[in-house]
């Protein structure tokens, strides 16, 4: 498997969500570490809410007349309190806080549906019931259910627990996990060499892997950073030529190749835009926005009427100055004949 394929392949924590519009969502699935941290925060808050609930219940019962409080009422109140803390707590927060309990909100997690949509009431209730029964606190075989739940989360490709598998949900990260930096500019000493490069065999996936490495190389520690740069440069050098000047790090060569690829892409795009503007000027014109104030525009001139050719007049009719209705446009009108006066002179 090539370095580009390993680098661009979906990571183990990739959520791999596709929306209803067939758009792949770039989110990461939450793994067991962040989910356990969120669970610890929620457990602490549940203990605090439990203590407050006990205090409020005790004060309320103390105000009741003597004899109304018995063992049956105590068990009933205890059952209601446990249900509110273990089931009502996650269901209410996931429904009212966009799939986030206080612990998930603190860690930056969110519960979503399997298609990336918001979690529903049925899904939240199913997750809570399965979690209480076989996960945490695990009322059914606590130790065995804990081991089974941890095994499922570790082996699942998207880190889902049993409740997520039953309810059709997924826990994802809502915060950006990495910080990206711009691609380093090529060194001037490699400009001449970069102009002579043959990039026709450079695979786009390998170019993408190179770009991702250059933007995230500051997050790697040595020797992993140099090893990955050497592996990438070995594959890039096999598909490009001529060889570069010796004595520079592999990351500098990668930046020069990527910069030259971008320069040629911009030059090609500018040429295509120029050709498009020459062939179709209306496509290259700058769009104008209509202002809110009314503008006065000159009325368009009336179209020139076109006449339908009619019958051709006879030569005698033309000499007499007569033409058939709807005659041809552009026929020279006849000149009236000069009439002689009574005295034999031409009249004017």
Average pLDDT in the 164-192 region?
81
Q: What is the pLDDT of residues 54-67, one digit of tens each?
A: 998 888 888 877 77
Euclidean distance between CA atoms 113 and 170, whole angstroms: 6
Termini Cα distance of the chain? 107
Confidence of residue 298 (pLDDT cuts 50, 70, 90): very low
Confidence of residue 306 (pLDDT cuts 50, 70, 90): very low
**Strand ranges in the chain using DSSP code E only, listed in sequence order:** 17-18, 24-25, 109-113, 169-173
Q: List C-alpha distances in Å: 342 to 316, 335, 338, 339, 347.
A: 26, 22, 13, 10, 9
Q: What is the pLDDT of residues 330-340, one digit of tens each?
A: 444 455 555 54
Nearest to 261 by CA among 347, 184, 202: 202
Could you identify the residue written with the tokens 């992993």? 224
237 against 220, higher pLDDT: 237
Q: Are 83 and 128 in contact (CB under 8 A)?
A: no
Average pLDDT in the 157-163 region?
88
Q: Are 164 and 170 in contact (CB under 8 A)?
A: yes
Q: What is the pLDDT of residues 7-34, one digit of tens each?
A: 443 444 456 666 666 666 767 888 888 9
The DSSP bridge partners found for residue 111 are: 171
The pTM of this model reads 0.49
Residue 221: Cβ within 10 Å count: 6
Confidence of residue 37 (pLDDT cuts 50, 70, 90): very high
Confidence of residue 71 (pLDDT cuts 50, 70, 90): confident
Could you identify the residue written with the tokens 């003597």? 66
Mean pLDDT rounded to a whole number for the chain: 78
Could you identify the residue written with the tokens 């356990």? 36
Contacts of 122 (CB under 8 A, 6+ apart): 167
Euclidean distance between CA atoms 50 and 85, whole angstroms: 7
Over the Cα atoms of the chain, what is R_g?
A: 41
**Lowest-confidence segment of 5-9, 49-53, 148-152, 298-302 by average pLDDT:** 5-9
């Amino acid at each position: 498997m090539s370095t580009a394929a390993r680098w661009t392949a979906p990571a183990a924590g990739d959520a791999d969500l596709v929306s209803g519009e067939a758009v792949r969502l770039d989110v990461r699935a939450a793994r067991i570490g962040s989910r356990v941290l969120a669970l610890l925060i929620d457990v602490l808050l549940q203990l605090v809410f439990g203590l407050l609930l006990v205090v409020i219940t005790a004060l309320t019962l103390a105000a009741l007349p003597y004899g109304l409080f018995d063992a049956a009422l105590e068990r009933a109140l205890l059952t209601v309190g446990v249900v509110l803390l273990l089931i009502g707590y996650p269901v209410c927060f996931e429904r009212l806080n966009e799939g986030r309990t206080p612990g998930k909100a603190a860690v930056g997690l969110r519960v979503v549906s399997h298609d990336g949509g918001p979690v529903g009431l049925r899904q939240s209730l199913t997750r809570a019931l399965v979690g209480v029964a076989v996960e945490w606190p695990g009322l059914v075989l606590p130790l065995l259910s804990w081991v089974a739940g941890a095994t499922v989360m570790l082996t699942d490709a998207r880190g889902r627990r049993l409740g997520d598998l039953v309810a059709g949900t997924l826990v994802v990260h809502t915060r950006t996990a990495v910080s990206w930096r711009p691609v380093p500019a090529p060194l001037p000493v490699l400009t001449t060499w970069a102009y002579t490069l043959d990039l026709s065999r450079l695979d786009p996936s390998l170019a993408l892997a190179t770009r991702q490495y250059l933007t995230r190389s500051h997050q790697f520690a040595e020797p992993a950073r140099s090893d990955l740069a050497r592996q990438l440069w070995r594959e890039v050098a096999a598909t490009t030529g001529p060889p570069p000047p010796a004595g520079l790090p592999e990351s500098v060569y990668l930046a020069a190749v990527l910069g030259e690829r971008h320069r040629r892409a911009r030059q090609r795009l500018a040429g295509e835009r120029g050709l498009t503007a020459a062939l179709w000027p209306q496509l290259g014109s700058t769009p104008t926005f209509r202002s809110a104030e009314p503008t006065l525009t000159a009325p368009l001139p009336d179209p020139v009427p076109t006449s339908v050719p009619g019958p051709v007049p006879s030569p005698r009719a033309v000499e007499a100055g007569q033409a058939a209705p709807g005659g041809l446009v552009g026929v020279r009108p006849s000149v009236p004949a000069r009439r002689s006066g009574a005295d034999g002179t031409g009249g004017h």
